[in-house]
Structure 1
Amino acid sequence: MTTDLTQPPSPADLLATMPFAVRLGITLHEATCARTTGSLPWSPELCTAGGVLHGGALMALADAVGAVCGYLNLPAGSGTSTVESKTNFFRAVRSGALHATATPLHVGGTLIVVQTELQDDDGRPVGQTTQTQIVLAAKLPVQS
């Protein structure tokens, strides 16, 4: 992802840049540099044994929402890539939807660290992800 935020993109436009997130059914609700939110509805195709939403689905939601938050904190013309991500799981999701709220913990010239809180429909904590994203400088055009 590379950014040019002369006109902030809508949550739908940001989501459209991530086909995997779209395929999973993730929705972005809010997307600002201070806070990004999204959700993923429970579905049997995203579950492990016993109808429990798979940990990978939880991590995919946290990664997508956190990546958008990081992206919106980039300097103009630069890009980003996740270099580290850690998730703690607190409880299972067996119905409803999973909700994510990402906020930046650190925005620097080299690294951006984002924390994403995961909650169920009742507002109970489901997990927490902390991801570190590297800031990739804009590539200069090749001179011939």
Structure 2
Amino acid sequence: MDSAKNKESSANFIYFAQNLVIVNEREIIQYINNYVKNTLIDYLGIEFTKAGDNFIEATMPVEQKTYNPARILHGGAMMALAETVGSALSYLNINMETHDVRGLEINGNHLKSVSSGFVTARGQIIHKGRQTHVSEIKITDQQGNLLNISRMTNIIVEKQA
């Protein structure tokens, strides 16, 4: 992909929340999944699958690298998934040319365990202020059972010149 086209794609992503007509869901998902390559997100196998007005979804495999010693999904892996979704959701709702997102706080309740398959996290903003976003993230298994519910607060900061 040439630099001009990549910049155009980035600009479309940046203004996603304000101008839904500019980009389609597939382009947003593709951009995010490419953006997180070679990070913890990529290592854990987290993949964004859906995005829309005020929500985003991602999946994560339940496998050896996401297990705890009891061979079930590690609570920390679930929290990494929740934080990833909560952060991405805030990024979709800011101008990334002028602002950035920083995690301020996250908490979660592990309600059920799982030992195989995939889990899906769906995040929604429940408060969108000028300087803070609060998101609720629900993680479910393939049967739709609620495994974890988390709440994340992000602070929106201006980029330094």
- Matched-pair contact (CA < 8 Å) for 1:32–1:72: no
Residue in 2 aligned with 1:17?
A: 35
Alignment of 1:50-65 (within 5 A): 50-65=70-85
TM-score scaled to structure 1, two decimals? 0.87
Residue in 2 aligned with 1:5?
A: 15
1:132 aligns with 2:146: no
1:117 aligns with 2:138: yes
Shift of 1:13: 1.6
- Matched-pair contact (CA < 8 Å) for 1:33–1:70: no
Q: Within 2, Cα distance between the matches of 1:11 and 1:50?
A: 33
Shift of 1:17: 2.7
| Unpaired runs of at least 5, structure 1 | none
How many residues align? The count is: 138
Shift of 1:83: 0.6
Matched letter for residue 132 of structure 2: L
TM-score scaled to structure 2, two decimals? 0.79
**Bigger mean CA offset, 70-79 vs 109-118:** 70-79
- Matched-pair contact (CA < 8 Å) for 1:66–1:102: yes
| Unpaired runs of at least 5, structure 2 | 1-12, 17-21
Shift of 1:32: 3.1
Matched letter for residue 143 of structure 2: D
Q: Within 2, Cα distance between the matches of 1:97 and 1:58?
A: 11
> 1 or 2, which has the higher helix percentage?
2
- State the 4+ residue runs in structure 1 displaced beyond 4 angstroms: 6-9
Q: 1:138 to 1:50 in 2, by over 3 A?
A: closer
1:66 aligns with 2:66: no
Q: Within 1, Cα distance between the matches of 2:159 and 2:68?
A: 41
- Deviations 1:41-77 (CA, angstroms, capped at 9, x unpaired): 1112211123101111111111111111111112452
Matched letter for residue 5 of structure 1: Y
Determine which structure has greater relative contact order: mean sequence separation of CA pairs < 8 Å that are 6+ residues apart, divided by chain length: 1
Residue 50 of structure 1: SS of its match in structure 2? coil
Q: In percent, how many aligned pairs have the same letter?
A: 23
